Structure 1
Amino acid sequence: MTSPVLAERRVERLEFDDLSGKWSATVSVSINADEPVFAGHYPDFPIFPGVCVLECVRRGAEVAAPADAGILRLAAVESTRFTSAVYPGDVLSIELQWAQRGLDWRCSARVGTDRGPAASVRLRYQPEEAS
């Protein structure tokens, strides 16, 4: 799959909570001014498009998926809410929470920058063999 976002994902934390039975992770993504999407998205005042924030969450979720989930494929974007703009030079901090529901896996994400919350996203994944 080709992504419109060049930025690399960096897994900062990945852990399993025995008490809750949930996986959590933190992924960071540095948004550089040389991202191709900035070329036509408000050239005099570049803003990282919301769809690219969503793409950073998807890519972060997939690099930090639960170890026991097997190969997962995105089945649905259940919700997305953008709360502030993302600019060149920002570092996205993506807090991920994974929970299994039946065969599916739900991933809830909170995205922030140094200025505060930027978005919240809920994704649903299915195991490759369930598709």
Structure 2
Amino acid sequence: MEMDIKGILDHLPHRYPMLLIDRVIDVKPGESIRAIKNVSFNEPFFTGHFPHHPVMPGVLILEAMAQAAAITSFTAAGKKPDDNTVYYFVGIDGARFKRPVVPGDQLSLEVNVERSSRGIWKYNGKALVDGQVAAEADLMCTMRVLEP
């Protein structure tokens, strides 16, 4: 199942400047996702990271993987986020950064569900540029409904 930006906005609570998914190539609910983040020089973080040598911050690459993971979890649960639903990052293990991500790159995000138990989802994620691993990590996230 593919998803354009409208579908992504329906499945993620994130908005500018924190929305880091541009297109979903394929999602298998509760199993895996392949998504795209187009990295533009117009990203707000490039102003300060770094002015003369722009590099996408590693934490934002991890955040992009977590957002892709969230789409997998929301589709598996048959839910869409609302004003009372939050998707939290609860853990990162084995994060490794292999190459810088710079303006003009296209991040290909590949996230696989490792397991899900009691509302905690564990994933293995990779961010690639031109087929080369830029970053990889094991992620843990949870979906919570806030009290009104």
TM-score, scaled relative to structure 2:
0.71
Match of 1:79 among 94, 103, 112: 94
For the structure 1 residues 121 and 89, does the alpha-carbon distance in structure 2 shift closer, same or farther, using more than 3 Å as the test?
Answer: same
> May I ask how many residue pairs the two structures share in their alignment?
124
**Corresponding residue of 1:117:** 133
Gaps of 5+ in 2: 1-13, 80-84
- The Cα offsets for residues 28-75 of structure 1, whole Å up to 9 and x where unpaired, read as 100111001101112122111111111211222212326334675332
Higher strand share: 1
For the structure 1 residues 25 and 97, does the alpha-carbon distance in structure 2 shift closer, same or farther, using more than 3 Å as the test?
Answer: same
1:46 aligned onto 2:54 = yes
Kindly provide the amino acid, as one letter, of the partner of residue 142 in structure 2. Q
**Corresponding residue of 1:126:** 142
TM-score, scaled relative to structure 1:
0.79
Check whether the contact 2:58–2:97 (CA below 8 A) recurs between aligned residues.
yes
Match of 1:12 among 25, 38, 55: 25
**Higher alpha-carbon deviation: 37-46 or 59-68:** 59-68
Check whether the contact 2:33–2:68 (CA below 8 A) recurs between aligned residues.
no
Aligned-residue CA RMSD in angstroms? Answer: 2.5
* Percent identity over paired residues: 27
For the structure 1 residues 56 and 126, does the alpha-carbon distance in structure 2 shift closer, same or farther, using more than 3 Å as the test?
Answer: closer
For the structure 1 residues 128 and 8, does the alpha-carbon distance in structure 2 shift closer, same or farther, using more than 3 Å as the test?
Answer: closer
Match of 2:108 among 78, 93, 102: 93
